[in-house]
Chain A
Amino acid sequence: MRRLLAAGCLLLCIAAACLCGALSTRAACDRLDDLVAACRAACEAGDLPRAAAAARALEADWDARKESLAVFVNHGVLDEIDAATALLEPYAAAKDAALYRGECKRLQTLLDRLRADASLRWHSLF
């Protein structure tokens, strides 16, 4: 009986950890989606100084979140996002809109992958 009780407590802890992981990952992805969209909008408008400022805001936000995400998410994916966010500002400073747009697109794909990993989907069971 005690063992069953311990198993029940463990199940609750695991459920809480999974829920916490899914919620924090989703929240981070939603916020970063908005910031990436702001970066793209500034770049599309040809306002590269604003794009550089948006990239700085994106990098700062990501830096604040990445350590807590490392508890739940594969560190390799986080490193890729880290690299992508770090490249945006230098591209804007160099006034290279094409590379900036490309990096935004790559970042968006990585965020989509992160979101997909955190959510329960039928195909991810197999």
Chain B
Amino acid sequence: MIVTILRTAVLYLFVTLAIRLMGKRQIGEMQPNELVVTLLISEIAAIPLQDNTQPVLNGVVAVFVLVILEIGVSALALKSFHVRKFMSGASVLLVRDGVPDQKALRRVRMTVLDLIELLRAQNVFDIATVAFAVLEVNGGLSVLLKSPDQPATARDVGAKPESDGLPLPVVSDGKLVPDSVRALQIAPAAVEKLLADDGLTVDRVFLMTLDRYGNRRIVPKEVP
């Protein structure tokens, strides 16, 4: 039993390292080759976990070979359009000027009802309002509405809204968040002073967000 626990811990560390090595893109929306690698990694890692007669090294080597291939192919795809197209495929224009491209729909084996469903998922309920709809290589649909159907922006209505700063969490559960403090280019003492103005100290704050314009929101810790 202890062997199983240790083998699981070892594989967990190596698979986590492997996923980290592949980068953040892997965790979000995946390209076809990334999906294949992720599926294979989970399968391969499970083999030494289930079968104690298999050396852990076999699983680790297989996982890392996949990671190396993935990194190598990604690097090649950055340099070569052909490699990128071969590994990930290409986007397909499905709707142009409100009219579905029947040939393209057949090519991607999608019915017009599937297309309408995907459009609805993008809050587009009338295909006639679509200027372009593109099926991306990760399976998502990108939609550009015709100009008259696009929502009005602040520029369209001539409004001049105040600039928004990105609120960053500078205090989390009674501790300063050094990355946020660094990103806002302020000293930790300045955060403490802001809190002191509200009669608080860092250790009594559950959450404090701050943006570059000094706008802050403070949630004090609840007293148990």
Interface set of A (CB-CB < 8 Å, partner B): 3-4, 6-7, 10-11, 13-14, 17-18, 21, 70-76, 79
Q: Considering the chains assembled together, what is the distance between the CA atoms of A3 and B74 in angstroms? A: 10
User: In the complex, which residues of chain B have a beta carbon less than 8 angstroms from the beta carbon of A76?
Assistant: 53
| Interface of B, helix, strand, loop or mixed by DSSP | helix
**Interface residue from A4, A10, A70, A79 paired with B55 (Cβ < 8 Å):** A70
Q: Please, how many residues of chain B have a CB less than 8 angstroms from a CB on the other chain? A: 15
Instruction: Decide yes or no: A6 and B61 within 8 Å by CB, A70-B55, A72-B55 being known contacts.
Output: no
A73-B64 contact in complex given A4-B71, A6-B21, C-beta closer than 8 Å: no
Interface pair A71/B75, CB less than 8 Å apart: no
Per the bound structure, the CA–CA distance linking A10 and B53 in Å amounts to 25
Least distance between B77 CB and chain A CB atoms (Å): 13
Contacts of B67 in A (CB 8 A): 7, 10
User: Which residues of B line the A interface, CB within 8 A?
Assistant: 21, 23, 52-55, 57, 61, 64-65, 67-68, 71-72, 75
Complex: chain B residue closest to A75, CB-CB:
B53
Report the minimal beta-carbon distance from A28 to chain B, rounded to whole angstroms.
Answer: 15
With contacts A14-B61, A18-B61 taken as known, whether A7 is within 8 angstroms of B21 at the C-beta atoms is yes
Q: Which residue of A lies closest to B61 (CB)?
A: A14
Can you list 10 A-B pairs with a CB-CB distance of less than 8 A?
Answer: A3-B23, A3-B71, A4-B75, A10-B21, A14-B65, A17-B57, A21-B57, A71-B55, A71-B57, A75-B52
Given the complex of chains A and B, what is the CA–CA distance between A4 and B54 in angstroms?
Answer: 29
Seed contacts A4-B72, A14-B64, A70-B55; 13 additional CB < 8 Å A-B pairs:
A3-B71, A4-B75, A7-B21, A10-B64, A11-B68, A14-B61, A17-B61, A71-B57, A72-B55, A72-B57, A75-B52, A75-B54, A79-B53
